[in-house]
Homo-oligomer: A and B are copies of this chain.
């Protein structure tokens, strides 16, 4: 069946070799399936490459590392490798303010807020999505914050809970006066609590 006659480009159903965009999407689709099936820790970059029929080096080329694949596959609105260092490198006495300000800036833009809410919605209605979010946050976010900023996990999670609840009431339930409060008002309101959570010592 492998007739040498036809050009290789004509092998696919649409008569051409898949372009980089299609290959990228194929990798992400397989990654989503594998992450859903095996969880963040269980899905290796090599297995994702194999499922997509590409060389692992190409996955590296497109996404850097497994975290990068996950961020893209889950349509993470924020790249933790960009946002986290900013929060972590803030002066210790301004950790809370920096974290709240960073979140508010991301949420300000509906295009970045929507996928974050979508992920939260999925996690709330689907056990697999919840498991994925749990593993990713535990493996990537928590690991880095607790290690680099020396914040106890319970403190990070209490802070995350505060920000999640704030996002829900402000943007989903749209409770007033929270929904219309300015970012400065919200920083004044919430930053002291976050600051305490991020500097707790147990």
Contact = CB atoms under 8 A, between A and B. Distances in A.
A184 interface: no
Size class of the A contact interface (CB-based, 8 Å): 35 or more
Contacts of A153: 176-178
A175 B134 contact: yes
A161 B163 CA distance: 8
Interface string A134-148: 100110000000000
Identical chains in the assembly = 2
A166 B173 contact: no
Contacts of A54: none
A173 B125 CA distance: 10
A184 to B, nearest CB: 12
25 contacts: A121-B124, A123-B173, A124-B172, A125-B125, A130-B173, A130-B174, A134-B173, A134-B175, A137-B173, A138-B176, A154-B178, A154-B181, A154-B185, A155-B189, A160-B165, A160-B169, A160-B175, A161-B162, A161-B168, A162-B193, A163-B165, A164-B164, A164-B169, A165-B166, A193-B197
